[in-house]
Homo-oligomer: A and B are copies of this chain.
């Protein structure tokens, strides 16, 4: 086997585990925490809860609330100025992927200078980042576990993938109690995001014995627990979705993703769509496209989805993909691109696809994908 690397943060998992946030910040030398969140999390009461925890530990903080969904380049650059001006140390984020990616972007600029687009791609960040203690409020983005950071380049209207080992936070606190304050839509979108991470990481060219079991475990847990989680909001189901998201994140952070994410980043950048919305539209089509390059791996995924193997790898793989489409259809989500994008915007598909082939995620896709391949996938799911 070629050399493979596996890095994850220290994970603190469990109901009520948010209470350890202050202690872990202290362990990383916190005197003045830079706290990143957004109004939604504030309204749910979690920001105040965190401030109380910091106060109890005698830690000062400065609050940065200007997180939007799909964070933009100028936002993280403003945030870094704010961080430096306030002489903060440990960066703490509480929120979903947007809050955590904003915090990561701020961490990069604050310690490495320049503009965020200077760091697009893999391993472009040279200097160490401030310590990061993240508390995820969703079970999907995986930003609390991963070495990925996705920031929109506003001028080019594209989501940039910034990927480097130093973006793995020091501490990831995962408290399933927080998921109870999420809407049905948020729970579904997050789980679908984790599912796409798990599947693309499994099929990745650089999947390893350390990432592959994590992928399959995540697929299994999401298929079994998303419906009950949506219907009953039982803490047990939400907890299982949290575990699935962590497993999926361990996998994709270390194995990378594929063509589906490459395309999702370009589509999302152009049309301001979140990942959770794009995946049910694209994932099955991209899997069918990849099928010829990895029938045996596709059969492994099929076996988990179907809970049995059929006659051949091909049969098992395709039946698994079909069942996955049924799974998506059982939730109230868009299944066609035209449900989300107007007819007039169809003209952007070609430039979007031309941008997608250059996304870092496309490098680890099991089958080489050209912009024409991407375009025919978009047309197939239109």
Interface residues of A (CB under 8 A from B): 1-8, 10-17, 20, 165, 176, 208-210, 213, 217, 239, 243, 246
CB distance from A129 to the nearest CB of B (A): 13
CA distance A53 to B8 in the complex (A): 26
Number of copies: 2
Contacts of A239 in B (CB 8 A): 1
CA distance A3 to B12 in the complex (A): 7
CA distance A15 to B1 in the complex (A): 6
Which one of B6, B14, B15 contacts A11 once the chains associate, using CB atoms below 8 Å?
Answer: B6
Name the residue of chain B whose CB is nearest to the CB of A235.
B1
Contacts of A210 in B (CB 8 A): 11, 13, 243, 246
Is chain A's interface secondary structure helix, strand, loop, or mixed overall? Answer: mixed
CA distance A6 to B249 in the complex (A): 14
Residue in A6, A7, A16, A213 whose Cβ sees the most chain B Cβ within 10 Å: A6
CB distance from A142 to the nearest CB of B (A): 15
Q: Tell whether, in the assembled complex, residue A8 and residue B5 are in contact, meaning their CB atoms are under 8 Å apart.
A: no
Name the residue of chain B whose CB is nearest to the CB of A239.
B1
Contacts of A5 in B (CB 8 A): 10-13
Contacts of A11 in B (CB 8 A): 5-7, 210
A selection of 24 A-B contacts at a CB cut-off of 8 Å is A1-B13, A1-B14, A1-B15, A1-B176, A3-B14, A3-B15, A3-B16, A3-B17, A3-B20, A4-B12, A4-B13, A4-B14, A5-B11, A6-B8, A6-B10, A6-B11, A6-B13, A7-B10, A7-B11, A10-B165, A209-B243, A210-B243, A210-B246, A213-B213
